Amino acid sequence: MADSFATRARLDVNGKSYVYSSLPKLGERFDLAKLPYSMKILLENLLRHEDGVTVTPAHIEAVATWDAKDEPDTEIAFMPARVVLQDFTGVPCVVDLAAMRDAVAKLGGKASQINPLIPSELVIDHSVQVDVFGRADALDLNGKIEFERNMERYSFLRWGQKAFGNFKVVPPNTGIVHQVNLENLARVVMEREVDGELQAFPDTVFGTDSHTTMINGLGVLGWGVGGIEAEAAMLGQASSMLIPQVVGFKLIGRMPEGATATDLV
């Protein structure tokens, strides 16, 4: 990847050496002091993916010089670090991946080459139905009925987890997708090997659940997207968007006892 603004830096942590894109280095050329945190995450994303075609120095400069008063007019390419799916929209994505493998095999290629290019996790939570209630074993009985009712789908997803790399399925009766994403799947800081070097970068996510954006509470930039956008990201395709507007707000007062952040949202 290109490094037009010379922001490539190195960080040593716990015996590991990481490369990363340094915003302080970019700050030597642009005033980033008042840039919103969310815009800084977008800026790092562009620096890391600069290739001179999809992401150019002009795109980076447009975000670095962002002004809240300006109307968005520059389109940028954003590549999330990972994708989180719920089963309602996730199953078609896995079906498409399986169909791609069939097509590659028919053309004489190696089917096992078809895999998500970024970590992709599917949380089974949209098949919940309450058939039994008002008794101590209701949760266990409802879980058993759910498995029986959805055996074919769940067997297919279990196959998908074994067949595809970079793909994980969180089983039923584990929790709702946005809560699982918040408490278990979020990395906050991602790492991956690129050209023989470990790269560290902020966790960002595309999710197919409307509550995906709750992950912002951890400082992880998240978007709720449709199945097609999620699948494109899984296959390494960047998502095009206008440089977003940012609205700030301040919460005052105190939550009452017994209330949670979910109640506030």
For 97-130, write each residue's pLDDT tens digit. Answer: 999 999 999 999 999 999 999 999 999 987 778 8
Mean per-residue pLDDT, 218-239: 94
Average pLDDT along the chain: 93
Percent of the chain at pLDDT > 90 equals: 75
Q: What is the mean pLDDT of residues 33-38?
A: 94
Q: What pLDDT does 251 receive?
A: 86
pLDDT at 129: 83
Longest dimension (CA), the chain: 65
Give 226's DSSP letter: -
CA dihedral over 127, 130, 131, 137, signed as positive or negative: positive
User: What local confidence, expressed as pLDDT, does residue 143 receive?
Assistant: 85
Q: How confident is residue 88, by pLDDT bands cut at 50, 70 and 90?
A: confident
Query: How many C-beta atoms lie closer than 10 Å to residue 68's C-beta?
Result: 12
Task: Give the pLDDT confidence score for residue 246 in this predicted structure.
Answer: 92
In which band, very low, low, confident or very high, does the pLDDT at 4 lie, cut at 50, 70 and 90?
very high
Residue 42 in this model has a pLDDT that exceeds 80: yes
pLDDT at 106: 96
The answer to whether the beta carbons of residues 29 and 81 sit under 8 Å apart is no
Query: Roughly what angle, to the nearest 10 degrees, separates helices 87-106 and 227-234?
Result: 50
Higher-confidence residue: 49 or 265?
49
pLDDT of residue 174: 85
For residue 52, pLDDT over 90 is answered with yes
CA distance 158 to 138: 25
CA 142/CA 127 separation, integer angstroms: 11
Neighbours of 239 (CB within 10 A): 16
pLDDT digits (tens, 9 = 90+) for 155-184: 999 999 999 999 999 998 888 898 899 999
Tokens for 181? 């994403």
- The phi, psi pair for 192, rounded to 5°, reads -155, 160
Burial class from Cβ neighbours inside 10 Å (0-12, 13-18, 19+) for residue 135 reads exposed
Structural domains of the chain, ranges and CATH numbers in brackets: 1-79+239-265 (no CATH), 82-189+200-237 (3.30.499.10)
pLDDT level of residue 209 (50, 70, 90 thresholds): confident
